[in-house]
Amino acid sequence: MANLKEIRNRITSIGSTMQITSAMKMVSAAKLKKAQDAITAMRPYSSKLTELLQSLSAAMDSDAGGVYSKQREVKKVLLVIITSNRGLCGGFNSSIIKETIKNIEDNYHGIEVDLLTIGKKGNDILSKSYNILENRNDIFDNLTFEKVTEIAQKAMDLYVDESYDKIEIIYNRFKNAATQIVQVEQFLPIQPIEGGAEANLDYIFEPTKEKIVLELIPKSLKTQLFKAIRDSFAAEHGARMTAMHKATDNAKELRDDLLLTYNKARQAAITNEILEIVGGAEALNN
């Protein structure tokens, strides 16, 4: 009976775990819908704005894009790493950490690299091996464009004063609830796209092309970072919903196996008791 009691305790424990994972799945599903709608609505605007500025930069002189387009010899790099504050979301955070380490080892060997981390999980791991310029765990408490603007402006200022020669963003791009794609995007300097001059023949600029570009570049950079964080936020909830769905299914399968084991052990115990009673009755009769 001690064995049966142990199995019953395990079944009860797994049932409690199932309730937790199922509840977390529903919470993430509710948050995902809102986050997905936000990033889906933002992507066309962000993509078109970036495309316009890149093609304009290609069509103008090398200095027309201002201080944000200057190409310098890369001696010091800043990586903006976007992870989450909480775990239980599968390989969401580990994929970003692995990509960050791979990117540094493959592309920046011998170059000084600092990190600006957004999210607690990435900071906890990467701070053990790399220099963290700043960690912003608070950004997800109230994700707004104004809060992201502070981070973007700081990164832009660090590039302008030549503290860093290149800045990149590493984050998870949301595709669907089950799929997140690791992205490495160059933040600064701005990269003109090939064929930009031909692409802008149909545009009419007022007051001037140069003035428009210089005013839109800071806004475009801030929008780019905000989109990356929004993407990561939606991808996090998708990854957590998927992970909790799998955890719930695994717990249910384990519970069913334990129930089968419990019933077999219980039937064996009952059979043994019947055999003992019958054996005792026959002994009395004899």
Give the orientation angle of helix 92-107 with respect to helix 209-285, to 10 degrees: 130
DSSP state of 193: P
Q: Which two tokens stand for residue 91?
A: 């390989």
How far apart, in Å, are the Cα atoms of 87 and each of 84, 93, 120, 236, 246?
7, 8, 10, 9, 15
Catalytic residue among 53, 89, 118, 221: 89
Characterize the bridge pairing of strands 112-118 and 131-135: parallel
CA distance 141 to 85: 10
Q: What is the DSSP string of 105-151?
A: HHH-TTSEEEEEEESHHHHHHHTTTSEEEEE-GGGGTS--HHHHHHH
How far apart, in Å, are the Cα atoms of 168 and each of 117, 188, 231?
12, 7, 16
7 catalytic? Reply is no
Q: Which residues are marked as active site?
A: 89
